[in-house]
Amino acid sequence: MFTVGFVEHVEVTILIDNSVGTVRDVVAEWGFSALVKVYGSEILSILYDLGQSGVALLHNMKVLKVNPEDVRYIILSHGHFDHTGGLKTFIKKHGRDKMVIAHPKVFEKKVLMRGKVLDYIGVSVSKKFLEKKTTLITCKNPLKLCEGVLFSGQIERYGHPEFCEGMYVVRDDGEIVEDKMLDDSALIINVKDKGLVIITGCGHSNILNIVKHAERITGVSKLYAVIGGLHLLSSDEKTVSEVLNSLISLGVSIVCPTHCSGLKIIHALMSKKPEIYIEGGVGRVIKI
């Protein structure tokens, strides 16, 4: 368990999502990216994921007046193209003095089974490229970025199933094995007098496992917000209902489902607990 500390408040700006909000001139693409700015013992800007194209990311940053040079840490939630595709473009232009943090399995050769065809869906830049252009840290264990802010490390499983159907890894010897998405990671922020704010990319490891993991490593039992992809787009209504009911029972105050979360979770939120629902979309700013 970490002595996690806390931040005074946090501001999350969605830079990439499948749709846009009400902000003019931004563009959407399949993927996710968020600028997480924390205010505590220091003011720290963290870029969590980079969408699938650096073009969209940099365009939206410009429109939303987010300065890429302010970013100190880049967190990769997992090794899929729609969360890491913007890496090369961003790093080439703004990689100086940046620290990239990810699980070591992010760089595996990840593929998706489409019928009988395997499509590569992994990271488009090499580990060597990032080592040359940035300070790259790969770790399975939680990592404290500053007071109140943690990279989750590998998410422990607590009985809730992963969402990784059709996903495989091609090993160096050519063997194709099921991908259990052990690289799936989250950003965990403890906000003073509020509780845990959890940012996810896709939530392949299941948001309920992620929340339990966050509580265990921080010792903080109060869940305040869940923001990001929940990978419920292909889940049945029973699974969606179980996830939402569990989050509600934990006392969550904000749920902002983005990217791969699907419409079922949005409909369920609007039906059961509309007051905790915040719509995602590029340009959305959530202040806690």
**Pair 282, 16: CB distance under 8 Å:** yes
The span from the CA of 82 to the CA of 66, in Å, is 20
Q: Going from the N-terminus, what domains does the chain have, and what CATH number goes with each?
A: 9-287 (3.60.15.10)
| Overall size of the chain counted in residues | 288
Structure confidence at residue 113 (pLDDT): 92
- Mean pLDDT, the chain, rounded, equals 96
Q: What is the mean pLDDT of residues 176-188?
A: 97
Tokens of 62: 């410009």
Question: Is pTM, for the whole model, over 0.95?
Answer: yes
Pick the closest to residue 27 from 61, 67, 76, 50 (CA basis).
Answer: 61
Identify the pLDDT of residue 3: 86
Q: What is the mean pLDDT of residues 233-246?
A: 95
| The predicted structure's pLDDT at residue 116 | 83
Separation CA 254–CA 223 (nearest Å) = 9
Per residue in 77-117, pLDDT (tens digit) is 999 999 999 999 999 999 889 999 999 999 999 999 988 88
- What is residue 252's predicted lDDT score, i.e. its pLDDT? 98
* Number of alpha carbons in the 13 Å side-chain half-sphere of residue 206: 21
Question: b/e for 53-64, b at 16 or more Cβ within 10 A?
Answer: bbebbbbbbebb
